[in-house]
Structure 1
Amino acid sequence: MRGEKVLPDFCAALWPEEQTPENLINCSECGLNKHGSRMIWGEGNPDAPIMILLDNPGAREDRENKPFICGTRQTLQQAVHQVGLSVDDLFVTYVLKRKPTRSYDKDKTRQICMNHLNQQLKSKQPQLMVCLGNIAVQSFFQNSEAEVKLLRGKIHMINGLQTTVAYHPLAVRRRPNLWPVFLEDWKLAADHYFHSE
């Protein structure tokens, strides 16, 4: 994006992936297994106090199958680094555990895949949930009309979890004027976490 700050090398890193549970690697319930993308259970620290929810995994490998940092992860890493959080504080997961590559029944698929997220929440019990983008917000808040712009800037209690929301990193990359707002929302998350320790 124009005027984008360069991410320091020490935080532009491939965060470790958490292995998908053996019994779910070949999950075919939602049909995304036919899209040819692999299942991504999550990345970062599996025992982290802060769980980040995105809509679906971005690209992991380039055309030569070499791992790389996609724009979503780069922007996310830049923001969390600037507010004093590290990979040890964070676990990133997704509403859909596979990247869709063609059209699909969005509502039905998200509903099915939320079962995986509920399983993760039960086992991980994070202190704070951060939903990035309207799809993550609508799925987690179970409200198809929920919007980041109306919910950001405060802590909500959702499903028994303290939850905050922010714009999707790709939206921030497309609209650089959102960067200060994105940073503000991450500062709220970091301050809330540091003060609750």
Structure 2
Amino acid sequence: MAHVARRTAAGRDPGAGAETAAPLVPSQPTLPSLREAAAGCRACPLWERGTQTVFGVGAARSDVLLLGEQPGDMEDRAGKPFVGPAGQLLDRALEAAGIDRSRAYVTNVVKHFKWEPRGKRRIHQKPDAREIRACLPWLEAEIAVVRPEIVVCLGATAAQALFGSAFRVTRERGRVVASPLAPRALATVHPASILRIPDQTQRQAELSRFIEDLSAAARLLG
């Protein structure tokens, strides 16, 4: 795995000089041991504001791994990824595409909710490069354990974590490509972006495109 090879035993990425979670990853990881280790992760400051680490969920061997950006407000409180409105839309789209979510592994690049207060609400903030880099060893370990046939990146943050900052979802959307961490990967939009479209007709059209993207992954799995 390309990212792992560049890390030192001290958990630093020599290209960036930032602390990462690498020292916390068990030497012979399983999903339960990774989840337990990640619960105490302090590799970046996001743990100070998040309610808890929101680790991935799903079978230890899954053909498809669904990768989002970070947990949202509801996920932070529940301790599980994609349980809010975006997760509900994802469930409907997966069903329409012929992918059984119960047989998929679902996770995020960043495992803590990054937010800022706005009145009584907690408003999502995009994780920065340091926070993504710090959290990346958890994702690498998850993929190594789950060994999915395809990783479906939901949104730009997920896709760029896998392919680098030059990757553009708008250019590569829906196309199955080789991945450094799994045999295949596919990038599409994050379901939350569909929910933010105010026009109902446009929102439905974007949902249809989203289902088409997921269907491409389903066809690959047979």
Bigger RCO (CA 8 Å, 6+ sep): 1
Q: Which residue identity lines up with residue 149 of structure 1 in the other structure?
A: T
C-alpha RMSD over aligned residues: 2.4
- How many residues align? The count is 174
Aligned partner (choices 166, 174, 179) of residue 153 of structure 1: 174
The structural deviation recorded for 1:36 is: 3.0
5+ long unaligned stretches in structure 2 = 1-30, 117-124, 198-202
8 Å contact from structure 1 (residues 40, 98) kept in 2: yes
Superposed CA deviations along residues 140-176 of structure 1, whole A, max 9, x for unmatched, are 112x132211111211101052001111101111230
Aligned partner (choices 83, 104, 115) of residue 101 of structure 1: 115
**Corresponding residue for residue 12 of structure 1:** none
Aligned partner (choices 40, 49, 55) of residue 54 of structure 2: 40
1:113 paired to 2:135: yes
* C-alpha distance in 2 between matches for 1:120 and 1:78: 25
TM-score by length of 2: 0.71
**Corresponding residue for residue 136 of structure 1:** 158
Return structure 1 stretches of 4+ with deviation > 4 angstroms.
Answer: none
Superposed CA deviations along residues 47-94 of structure 1, whole A, max 9, x for unmatched, are 21100110001233698x7x9941110111010011121123311111
Superposed CA deviations along residues 107-146 of structure 1, whole A, max 9, x for unmatched, are 111011111111111122111110000111111112x132
TM-score by length of 1: 0.79
SS at match of 2:207: helix
* C-alpha distance in 2 between matches for 1:146 and 1:172: 20
Aligned partner (choices 69, 72, 75) of residue 58 of structure 1: 72
8 Å contact from structure 2 (residues 61, 145) kept in 1: no
5+ long unaligned stretches in structure 1 = 1-17
* C-alpha distance in 2 between matches for 1:62 and 1:26: 15
Superposed CA deviations along residues 7-54 of structure 1, whole A, max 9, x for unmatched, are xxxxxxxxxxx7553222111011111013211111233421100110
Aligned partner (choices 159, 183, 195) of residue 211 of structure 2: 183
8 Å contact from structure 1 (residues 48, 88) kept in 2: no
Identity of aligned residues (%): 25
How has the CA–CA distance of structure 1 residues 83 and 113 changed in structure 2, closer, same or farther, with 3 Å as cutoff? Answer: same
SS at match of 1:131: strand
